[in-house]
Amino acid sequence: MNVSVVIPLLNEEESLPELASWIDRVMQANHYSYEIIFIDDGSKDHSWQVIQDLKKTNPCVKGIKFRRNYGKAAALNVGFIAAAGDVVFTMDADLQDSPDELPEMYRMIVDQGYDLVSGWKKKRHDPVSKTIPTKFYNWSARRMSGIRLHDFNCGLKAYKNTVVKSIEVYGDMHRYIPFLAKWAGFSKIGEKIVHHQKRKFGKTKYGLDRFYKGYLDLVTITFTSRFGKRPMHFFGLWGSLIFLAGLGIAGYLAYEKFFKLAFKMTERPLFFFGLLAMIIGTQLFVAGFLGELVSRSSSDRNNYLIEEKLGVE
């Protein structure tokens, strides 16, 4: 199979027939064998009934329905597990992503050898309340991840099948799939300017909370990618430095006390800063030690992605 299109959705009954028909026209025009996998993330409208009706008229339509709303990341992860196409696309169900972009992104994966191609909504049809925070968020993500993408959060992306089978999307990490792919060893990541359309039906499912959640998730994924399997390298280093700083303060005060007899150590505010530094340093070091114990007990501590074998079973 050439193409899998994974589409997470929540209460999008009005847009699904048009979207499925549009994808089918594009696939037929380019002679791709394909499947459309709709992931109903706990919709309260008739979205699932619409998917069932679409399946009756188009055997390429498939669906998975959650009992409740788990979030976009969970829907994508389940869709990635089910996807069988050589190239896997993700797109939103609200008709703001254009299926006409799929053939060129497919060629970038197949002919140009990209592992992942991300859409870039260079001209967005969103209010200023969304565009300005999005620009700041994308700038932060570029700085922290080292991936030169303009639009990390664009729902329209294309992947090699091996990429989606090698990553796990959880929490709200759907925003950072390029980061997860790079972490897994898929470093050839490209970008394509895509057409962004105004929402035709319904309303957006995201609120302002996505901005602070996105920032916290960025910090989390940056930390875990660097220190997930070696927490002592972070906690032990900073714990040792802070403890030594506190020890230095204590040594200085002891020298002043015993050799100059100028004051009582506990009369100096610096004494309490030194004591606090030694306590915090010790706690950080112990946290790193406990993190190492947890990491070494993890069932996936020796799971490595092997690209190819030669003469080895």
Instruction: Write the pLDDT tens digit of every residue in 244-256.
Output: 999 998 888 888 7
pTM across the whole model? 0.74
Is the CATH number 3.90.550.10 carried by domain 3-227? yes
Residue 279: band (very low, low, confident or very high) from pLDDT cuts 50, 70, 90: very high
Average pLDDT, the chain: 85
Indicate if the pLDDT at residue 261 is higher than 60: yes
Are 292 and 242 in contact by the 8 Å Cβ rule? The answer is no
Q: CB-based contacts of 49: which residues, under 8 Å, 6+ apart?
A: 13
Instruction: Write the pLDDT tens digit of every residue in 182-226.
Output: 888 898 999 999 987 776 666 665 555 666 666 777 777 777 777
Instruction: Write the pLDDT tens digit of every residue in 20-78.
Output: 999 999 999 999 999 999 999 999 999 999 999 999 999 999 999 999 999 899 999 99
Burial class of residue 225, CB neighbours in 10 A (0-12, 13-18, 19+): middle
Domain parsing of the chain, residue ranges:
3-227, 232-297
Flag the least confident range among 223-232, 234-243, 302-311. Answer: 302-311
DSSP letter at 97? B
